Amino acid sequence: MKNPLLQDWTTDFQIAPFEAISDQDFAPALDVALAEHEAEIAAIASDTREADFDNVIGALESAGEALDKVLSVFFTVAGADSNPEREALQRDFSPKLAQHSSRITANKALFARVEAVWEARETMSLSSEQGRVLMLTRRSFLRAGAALTGAEDTRMAEIKSRLAELGTAFTQNVLADERSWFMALTEADLEGLPEFVVETARAAGVEKGVDGPVVTLSRSLIVPFLQFSPRRDLRQKAFEAWVARGANGGVTDNRDICTEILQLRHERAQLLGYASFADYKLETEMAGKPAAVRQLLNDVWAPAKAQADADAEVLTAMMHEDGFNGALEAWDWRYYADKRRVAEHDLNEAEVKPYFQLERMIEASFACATRLFGLKFTPLDVPLYHEDCRAWDVTRDGKHLAVFIGDYFARDSKRSGAWCSAMRGQAKFPEPQTPVVINVCNFAKGEPALLSYDDARTLFHEFGHALHQMLSNVTYESISGTSVARDFVELPSQLYEHWLDVPEVLAEFATHAETGKAMPKALLDKLLGVATFDMGFQTVEYVASAMVDLEFHEGTPPSDPIARQAEILDGMGMPRAITMRHATPHFAHVFAGDGYSSGYYSYMWSEVMDADAFAAFEEKGDAFDGELAASLEANILSTGGSRDAAELYRAFRGRMPGVEALLKGRGLAA
């Protein structure tokens, strides 16, 4: 029987034929695809013709089609619908793929041909996009160690292979801890919880095969439990399990893995001539240097900590009034912050949540894209990898632009968090192809499914990433969509969050799940009025994580990352009752792979820009200003990595932003 992963896909829009693919297909398909790609690389390297853009860079761009198909399917299901067999395959594939990548960048004959094109670039009539792809290709070879020789070359390959193994193990350990822990609740334990939390806990109990409600480590359940449960003992138990992910001892403990990852990254950077991994990593980002990142984080830290310290005093007094003496703890903050919000702003999330139906928020995200960019979304009936998934045909003026897939609900087989990925990126070379884009979230199921306001922001955030992919309009896939500097990639996603807050959007789509009526204006005004409520807490937990990430990767790596984490936080004056948003043993952004390593700051770097960019719409007095929307698409959303990120932002806004708009947006300005 032919392997469906290796066949031409005749499905609508050439979407992967998920219903025909089994787990047994992946390993043999990968072996064939790797061999095919290696043969293509060997042909490029051994080509006797004079090196030029087409026969070197263009050939590299078009190579590996079969490999891309296999990996796009595998990593989609491995992240969003895992099982023991897929986890085993991932452990096997990670070092194999790292070794394959190392063989390509270590191919001296291939690198010589890339260098030959680079040296002759002035004599070639290259387009600006071709020049950019050439520069990025050469840079990626150099940063991968292509210029290394002998023992250093060998060691680099070993490091990359080992890091791939460790990143996979880290991810699977966190997922195992999240999957294995739950806390059973009695009917009495449910007292004081809003109905939507009770329903979610009962549904979680059914999924766990337990006769009764449970709290799990899914963020969509544990956060509202910490927010609403009056039982301090249960909040403490749940919180301590949540922050202990990856640090529970035994086979799923990540602490030694973190130590080894940091040491190997440092060694890798030094092999390439950099003082630290942070220097290596930030070289290609907008920030450029660790000092620039530290400056941003420090500029935000001081006002955020001052606000958090002031808030802590208020919350501590509230806790003492409830008869609990002593210090405010991390499992107390969300509970008393919510009580304060109700008391000071007369706003209760249980009152708000029925207005944030998942279906209506999906409609809202689509409607904003229609008004801004003229996109139309039509439901598709195509095979997908899980019954929870849905797909839409994305068109403009009758022309197909993309397929968008939404996978919104939490389940044991899905890693935590939310993300956007492209199973196929946009490109015009070697032939036109339209993107297939997936948004993955972890919302709680319900009839109907209700979101918190933060959940709705997450949905808009990930859809902003999807728009960056779907509106891409470049020639080469290597620079399409989100293939941009890490501290620029969050700009489109964080910018799109602002449209959720537009009053006319909420007035139309925030309708009550039972009555169908729009959110009353008084409630809407209160909701928008508390947009910066508890922002000291949110900013402190984020900046602490970003600073720990930076400190870990600058200078000599710590022999005990957990002890070093404590030193860093103590040196910052971390408030007692606030923890890092992601503690080291489950900090997947940083340790599951290199994506956000020494780069977690990038959300805030992008936020400086997104606050300033949305201010452009506010200055126009119209969140849907057509001229600005067209400029946003032309200069940022459609351009991918075809130009320098700072150049793209200046083309849209006319200048680079300062931190003032961010502080104002977070309510932290003096």
Which residues does the annotation mark as catalytic?
A: 462
Residue 577 structure tokens:
């009752």
Backbone angles phi, psi at 158, to 5 degrees: -65, -40
Q: What is the Cα–Cα distance from 288 to 352, expressed in whole angstroms? A: 42
Structure tokens at 44: 């490029």
Phi, psi of 393 (to 5 degrees): -85, 125
CB-based contact 335:235 (threshold 8 Å): yes
Q: Enter the tokens of residue 36.
A: 């095919």
One-character DSSP codes across 164-226: HHHHHHHHHHHHHHHHH-EEE--TGGGTT--HHHHHHHHHHHHHHT-SS-EEES-HHHHHHHH
* Three-class secondary structure of residue 538 per DSSP: helix
Name 422's bridge partners: 437
Terminal Cα distance for the chain, rounded: 68
**Element (DSSP H or E) covering residue 173:** helix 150-180
Structure tokens at 206: 């059914």
What six digits make up the tokens of 79?
């992240």
Neighbours of 457 (CB within 10 A): 18
Name residues whose C-beta falls within 8 Å of residue 564's C-beta, 6 or more positions apart in sequence.
Answer: 551, 552, 558
Measured CA to CA, the distance from residue 28 to residue 389 in angstroms comes to: 27
Tell how strand 399-409 and strand 436-443 pair up.
Answer: parallel
Q: How far apart are CA 654 and CA 385, in angstroms?
A: 44
| Cis previous bond, 379, omega within 30 | no
In whole angstroms, what is the distance from residue 209 CA to residue 221 CA? 17
Give the gyration radius of the chain's Cα atoms. 25
- Helix, coil or strand: residue 597: coil
171 Cβ neighbours under 8 A, 6+ residues apart: 415, 588, 592
Can you read off the two tokens belonging to residue 429? 């070379």
